[in-house]
């Protein structure tokens, strides 16, 4: 990856915990007494990754591409949205690596991190070594500490593909 073609993007997402919804993170269903509220499946990990990729490409943001006012994205599987974004960036960019941190008081995500990583690497079409998923609590502070919701942050590195003839 030559230095002048490297681009970095950052993504953040948060969702509120509610009863009666599944908890889906990084495309993996995680057993928990509450799930995440949202128009789509509320997969905050994938949403943060999408915004990191879009940011690195300067292609806008998830809310513009997939507006929650559009019934097409109601209960949408965020994995499908991520695949769509990967398709959009692929002609111009190659994905270098993606690093995600999930911040939640509960549940403990240790047992699910490797599955999220595998799922993300498949969706992104990159080797497992280029995907990282980390998890931490918020030490009991703020909305996350009170268990009102969770947040995910992600960074993505892209490299601009060489155009033919240059
Ligand atoms: Mg979201």
Nearest to 15 by CA among 23, 7, 6: 23
Q: Is the pLDDT of residue 163 over 90?
A: no
Binned at pLDDT 50, 70 and 90, residue 10 comes out as: very high
Rounded CA separation 160/158 (Å)? 7
CA of 38 to the centre of ligand 1 (A): 7
CA of 41 to the centre of ligand 1 (A): 9
DSSP 97: E
Give the CB-side neighbour count of residue 159, counting CA atoms within 13 A: 11
Mean pLDDT score, 143-149: 97
Instruction: Quote the strand ranges of 35-123, DSSP E.
Output: 35-36, 93-103
Q: Is the pLDDT of residue 165 over 70?
A: no
CA of 22 to the centre of ligand 1 (A): 14
DSSP 17: E
Q: Quick check: bond before 107 cis, omega within 30?
A: yes
Q: What is the pLDDT of residue 1?
A: 53
CA of 121 to the centre of ligand 1 (A): 20
CA of 15 to the centre of ligand 1 (A): 6
Length of the chain: 166
Rounded CA separation 53/55 (Å)? 5
CA of 43 to the centre of ligand 1 (A): 6
State the helix-helix crossing angle for 113-124 and 44-57, rounded to 10 degrees: 40
CA of 1 to the centre of ligand 1 (A): 31
Instruction: List, as ranges, residues with CB under 5 A of the ion ligand 1.
Output: 13, 47
Is residue 9 within a helix (H) or strand (E), and if so which, with residue range? strand 6-18
CA of 42 to the centre of ligand 1 (A): 5
Tokens of 95: 């994905």
Q: What is the pLDDT of residue 4?
A: 72
Domains within the chain, CATH numbers bracketed: 6-160 (3.30.1330.50)
Q: List, for residues 70-107, the tens digit of each pLDDT value.
A: 888 777 899 999 999 999 999 999 999 999 999 999 99
Mean pLDDT score, 105-117: 97
CA of 92 to the centre of ligand 1 (A): 25
CA of 63 to the centre of ligand 1 (A): 9
Q: pTM of the predicted model, to two decimals?
A: 0.95
Nearest to 142 by CA among 102, 104, 101: 104
């Amino acid at each position: 990856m030559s230095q002048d073609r490297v681009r970095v993007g950052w993504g953040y997402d948060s969702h509120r915990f509610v009863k009666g919804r599944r908890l889906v993170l990084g495309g993996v269903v995680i057993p928990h007494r509450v799930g995440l509220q949202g128009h789509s499946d509320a997969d905050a990990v994938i949403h943060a990754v999408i915004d990191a990729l879009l940011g690195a490409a300067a292609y806008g943001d998830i809310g513009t591409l997939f507006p929650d006012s559009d019934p097409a994205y109601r209960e949408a599987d965020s994995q499908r949205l991520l695949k769509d974004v990967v398709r959009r960036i692929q002609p111009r960019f190659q994905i270098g690596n993606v690093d995600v941190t999930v911040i939640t008081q509960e549940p403990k995500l240790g047992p699910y991190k490797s599955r999220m990583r595998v799922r993300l690497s498949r969706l992104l079409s990159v080797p497992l070594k280029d995907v990282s998923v980390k998890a931490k609590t918020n030490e009991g502070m703020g909305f996350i500490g009170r268990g009102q919701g969770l947040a995910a942050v992600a960074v993505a590195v892209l490299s601009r593909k060489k155009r033919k003839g240059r």
